[in-house]
Amino acid sequence: MAEAAPKGTGGLGVAVVPSGADEGPEVAERPFRGALGVAEPAFRVLELLLPGAVRGPLPSPETGLLPDVVRPRLLSWEVPAVVLPAAEALRVLEDHPGDGTATVRHWAAVAALARDLVRRGRVLPQLVPTAQDPTPQEPGGAWAVWRPVLGGADARYFRELALAMPPACRTWAVERPAAEVQLRALEAFTDALVRQAVTGPLVATPRTPHERWLAALTGDPACADVPGLREELEGWRSAVTAAEGATRVCFRLLEPATGDDWRVELALQAADDPSLYVPAARVWSGEKGLPGRPERELLAGLGRAVRLYPELDRALRVPEPSELALDTAGAFGFLRQAAPLLQAAGFGVQLPRWAGRTRLGLKLTTRTKTQTAAVSQGFGLRELVDFRVDLAVGEETISEAELAELARLKVPLVRVRGQWVELDDRQLKAALRAVEGVRAGEAYAADLLRHVVRGDDELPLLEVDADGVLGDLLSGRADRRLVPIATPPGLDAVLRPYQERGLAWLSFLSELGLGGVLADDMGLGKTITTLALLVHERAATPTLLVCPMSLVGNWQREAARFAPGLRVHVHHGAGRDPARFADADLVITTYGTAHRDLAALREHEWRRVVCDEAQAIKNSGTLQARAVRSIPTDTRLALTGTPVENHLAELWSIMEFANPGLLGPRSRFRTRFQEPIEAHQDEQAAEALKRATGPFILRRVKTDKSVISDLPEKMEVKEWVPLTPEQATLYQAVVDDMLARIDDSEGIERRGLVLSAMARLKQVCNHPAHLLKDGSRLAGRSGKLARLEQLAEEILAEGEKALLFTQYAEFGTMLQPYLAQRLGRPVLWLHGGLPKKTRDRLVDRFQQDPEPMLFLLSLKAAGVGLNLTAASHVIHVDRWWNPAVEDQATDRAFRIGQRRNVQVRKLICAGTLEERVDEMIERKKALAERVVGTGEDWLTDLSTDELREVFRLTGGS
């Protein structure tokens, strides 16, 4: 998809790169007229800059086709394209948000941002003269348009999107910065969305230029230019998006103790510390200690706010405004309309704790007709159950008479059983419809389960009281309520109590025909629990297990060790033969092979499809995710220690594999759960999502003593090491060189330079020879290497073993012979370039050989899947700034089977970026999963001044 078309046309282009240079525009019509559902698309030929050679452009990386050009160049190509109106493009992107290429997924994210801004009223009308347009019409003409208002979190998210923009999104012959391209698309989407929402004319019979502009906001956008109006509108937008200073005006809604006397208290609040709150009355009293000129900042802020909240004008009629008195209707208007606008514009807003939480909803009660005990696992979802639906406010149910009284009062804020509740016409009408409908009777358990999972946007489900199979499922603790299944005959191991409960839960879901997500912490035994399920079932048809290549050998070994009776076949590598599936109980394959051999896998009958390390399918639009979802099977199981790494869409993708369609389409999941939770921290949406997914996710953590009480302790220590003079000189030279280049770059180039700078600085911290790659000596030149040698000597002298993790395979290749020679002990080296048999041989030697030794491992090649409990020490030589990745690597030693305490050391060069990034992570622990979840990319969003602070070398080194 190309960038937004020229202003006023409201079109977006979808480019189709031809396979040959001689194909004409007609090739575009065939794939897009039907696929996108566009009745009469407009066809154009765009001139794009694409990498390629004389014969043609390179194929997109997502096609899986390998380029046959060694050194491609950016060349200009004429590419046929379909140009869609913005409204049509919005529909296509909503229907296919995760499909197709990375560009489509990116524009779907931009479209979602536009929808969110429009929904929250973050738009303003503007008048754009055609002189600014690349294709002006007549002189003096203008366009009436709706523009997005970006500020605060919205502006940060917009910048993050622009930094993540795939290069193909901005490949027009005249290359523009990513932010500019993205802003034009966002503006086109915003304008189209507002015009869809505002259907009627704003002025019935426009006569004056101002009225014609108002009419053009919902009709034909062309109108006459009105210079005075244009400046006023621009000033309005500038005032709304004015940068925040050290303080900001804050509005606090105070509820009445009795009666109808609501108040909005006016105050100043520190922009960077919301807890610093000073009411306006104290500002006017001349209280000392406030920064700047508080009286002036308060009045200036109130002057800007009154544009968004005209009711505030009443409070400004006195010399020293301190509060605004409201009745109940006014308070409701502040809650629903003014507060979101003010907050989005950067003002502080403080609402009562119940605001947005205590709502009118439903309580569902079900009872099994035969009173089947909860421990009986033969009860199915096709059974009839008795049910009753009650109206509820919070935890209190209300009667029909009370509801009728609420409807009669027509008051948007009411006290019910001592607590305030927000009501609106939609909720009241939905509640009255619920009362008039069937509120009690019989229903299939499966239908009730679907209702609980999908919920209702207007009248949410607040509470469920169920027994039997629904009670077991919806409790979210089915493993606790079911009778544990003892270690089945044929399993050469003794299951721990929590594993017996997990086996009962897996069997329970399987008998109901439901899929699940076993999300236990790494090291708690997801593998053996899954093998126990296969042994317990003894199914006639095989189970297909899909996993990363690095785990194939681990599954083979674990199956041979714990379930020798299972017939295991590995479908991977040369000579793959689908005919052997029928003779196996467990078929193991990789994600890549599953995609390549999808046709053969789809033709076979499978009892179950298991995805190990299911975060591999967290992006629903990838080829491997779509492949494993399309394999027919009776039931599905996802194994992962991190069901959500970065955002909630990953949870939807994994759940869509486990139980297809249960959470509804992705677009509804995004509006129902993802946007309210991620963007607005909506607690009710979070609770609804937990209720919807809880029945199908079993999550236990190692730190929970009720789960496992005999696992040894893990002790983590940060080792601060100095740079040598040579390292410090090299470090400063890299900083000076890279900051100058970063400051002059933007977009994708800037992102690449920041990541390159980080890599080079981390290499300096490791060793000068790592950066210079000159094959020079290692001894005596690195503070980190000197400390590593000391630690290794101590560990080996104690007769123990250690795992050494490095992010860089090239550094590991330098370290292995050096440490082996210096220490006189075996130093094993595992990296991604080793064949499977060699990897297995190294793991077996480390686990079985009693001799003290070191195991040097590449973080990416060995961060998951390996069982290395012979080690009682873990050293992270260089840091990967994703705590989850480091913890996964540590869990190679800290897992079931470990009998000793595990000491974990993280080597950090003092006074360098390693120290400062570590400090930033510690400061933002609550946000670490969201901010750092993608690895190191989050650092690329920092400004040049912030990067200078992160990169600078301090005296501590």
CA distances from 957 to 53, 755, 791, 846 (A): 49, 23, 20, 36
* 867: Cβ contacts below 8 Å, ≥ 6 apart: 554, 843, 847, 892, 895, 897
The answer on 395 and 542 residing in a single domain is no
The answer on 746 and 836 residing in a single domain is yes
Count Cβ atoms below 10 Å from residue 284 Cβ, excluding itself.
Answer: 15
Please, are residues 497 and 503 in contact by the beta-carbon 8 Å criterion? no
Please, are residues 586 and 570 in contact by the beta-carbon 8 Å criterion? no
* 657: Cβ contacts below 8 Å, ≥ 6 apart: 515, 611, 614, 617, 625, 628, 629, 636, 638
pLDDT of residue 723: 87
**Structural domain includes residue 75:** no
pLDDT of residue 379: 44
The secondary element (H helix, E strand) that includes residue 658 is: helix 649-658
Residue with tokens 């569902």: 364
Domain edge (last residue) among 350, 368, 395: 350
Q: Are strands 714-721 and 873-876 parallel, antiparallel or unpaired?
A: unpaired
Q: pLDDT per residue over 877-916, tens digit each?
A: 987 766 767 778 888 887 766 777 788 888 988 888 888 7
Residue with tokens 């395979």: 809
Please, are residues 641 and 517 in contact by the beta-carbon 8 Å criterion? no
Q: Are strands 419-422 and 568-570 parallel, antiparallel or unpaired?
A: unpaired
Q: pLDDT per residue over 540-575, tens digit each?
A: 899 999 988 767 877 888 898 899 999 999 998 888
Domain edge (last residue) among 213, 240, 267: 240
The answer on 312 and 228 residing in a single domain is no
CA angle 389, 392, 393 (to 5 degrees): 170
Nearest to 531 by CA among 556, 497, 512: 556
- Sign (positive or negative) of CA dihedral 571, 575, 581, 583: negative
Sequential DSSP letters for 148-170: E---THHHHHHHHHHHT--GGGG
Please, are residues 363 and 397 in contact by the beta-carbon 8 Å criterion? yes
Domain edge (last residue) among 350, 383, 404: 350
The answer on 482 and 470 residing in a single domain is no
CATH of the domain at 558: 3.40.50.10810
Token couple for 554: 């681990």
**Structural domain includes residue 73:** no
The answer on 334 and 235 residing in a single domain is no
The rounded distance, in Å, linking the Cα atoms of 947 and 450 is 49
Residue with tokens 């998951």: 864
CA distances from 608 to 479, 482, 550 (A): 20, 22, 22
pLDDT of residue 484: 86
What pTM, to 2 d.p., does this model score? 0.50
**Structural domain includes residue 825:** yes
The rounded distance, in Å, linking the Cα atoms of 932 and 233 is 39
Name the H helices within 280-395: 280-284, 294-308, 328-333, 339-344
Long-range contacts of 449-452 (CB under 8 A, 24+ apart): 449/381, 449/473, 449/474, 449/695, 450/662, 451/364, 452/364, 452/691, 452/692
**Structural domain includes residue 51:** no
Total count of domains within the chain? 5
The answer on 309 and 415 residing in a single domain is no
The answer on 401 and 333 residing in a single domain is no
* 32: Cβ contacts below 8 Å, ≥ 6 apart: 14, 16, 38, 41, 82
pLDDT of residue 240: 61
Token couple for 703: 């730190």
The answer on 590 and 533 residing in a single domain is yes
The whole-angstrom distance between residue 942's C-alpha and the CA centroid of its chain comes to 20
**Structural domain includes residue 414:** yes
The answer on 322 and 227 residing in a single domain is no
* Distance between first and last Cα of the chain: 49
CA angle 954, 955, 956 (to 5 degrees): 90
The secondary element (H helix, E strand) that includes residue 612 is: strand 608-612
The answer on 445 and 555 residing in a single domain is no
**Structural domain includes residue 497:** yes
Residue 513's domain comprises: 478-676
Please, are residues 624 and 592 in contact by the beta-carbon 8 Å criterion? yes
**Structural domain includes residue 18:** no
CATH of the domain at 741: 3.40.50.300
Q: pLDDT per residue over 393-425, tens digit each?
A: 666 677 666 676 666 666 666 666 667 766 666
The rounded distance, in Å, linking the Cα atoms of 688 and 527 is 30
Question: Mean pLDDT score of the chain, rounded to an integer?
Answer: 76
Please, are residues 19 and 12 in contact by the beta-carbon 8 Å criterion? no
Burial of 144 (0-12, 13-18, 19+ CB in 10 A): buried
Q: Are strands 902-909 and 714-721 parallel, antiparallel or unpaired?
A: parallel
The answer on 424 and 524 residing in a single domain is no
The rounded distance, in Å, linking the Cα atoms of 618 and 97 is 14
Please, are residues 12 and 189 in contact by the beta-carbon 8 Å criterion? no
**Structural domain includes residue 335:** yes
Report the C-alpha dihedral over residues 692, 695, 701, 703, rounded to 10 degrees. 90
* 762: Cβ contacts below 8 Å, ≥ 6 apart: 807, 878, 879, 913, 914
Mean pLDDT for each consecutive 10-residue tract of the chain (957 residues)?
A: 33 37 31 41 76 76 59 79 84 65 81 86 84 45 87 73 79 71 91 82 74 84 82 74 64 83 87 75 76 78 86 89 88 83 80 70 72 42 69 68 66 67 66 62 68 62 70 64 86 89 88 86 82 92 88 83 92 88 93 92 94 84 88 92 74 89 83 76 74 82 67 74 87 82 68 78 91 84 88 85 90 91 90 84 90 89 76 87 75 74 85 79 43 42 62 60
pLDDT of residue 435: 60
The rounded distance, in Å, linking the Cα atoms of 199 and 193 is 11
* 231: Cβ contacts below 8 Å, ≥ 6 apart: none
pLDDT of residue 375: 36
CA distances from 159 to 98, 177, 600, 941 (A): 21, 12, 44, 8
The answer on 466 and 512 residing in a single domain is no
Starting at the edge strand found earlier in the chain, the sheet holding 222-224 runs 123-129, 141-148, 222-224
HEC sequence for 870-920: CCCEEEECCCCCCHHHHHHHHCCCCCCCCCCCEEEEEEEECCCHHHHHHHH
